[in-house]
Amino acid sequence: MNWAEQIVKTLKDWDTSMIVYVPDISIHQVTSLIDEDPFFRLVSATREEEAIGIAVGSYAVGRNAAV
């Protein structure tokens, strides 16, 4: 299992299904795996501040989120 697969597995183990990110080539391996998995909801944000706001909103309605 490579590092990207380990991150995806850990997110699933922690029941973190909402993933918010700012697109960047350095995280492409992880985001492509997440995008292929129906367990996750992958949301692209334009700025880090926006990503935090989306994640907090998700958490407020009972869904674990990660940025």
pLDDT per residue as tens digits for the range 18-59: 999 999 999 999 999 999 999 999 999 999 999 999 999 999
Give the chain's domain count: 1
Per DSSP, the residues of 1-62 read --HHHHHHHHHHHTTEEEEEE---GGGHHHHHHHHH-TT-EEEE-SSHHHHHHHHHHHHHTT
Closest alpha carbon to 41 in 58, 18, 61: 18
Domain, as residue range, for 49:
3-66
What is the value of pTM for the model shown? Answer: 0.90
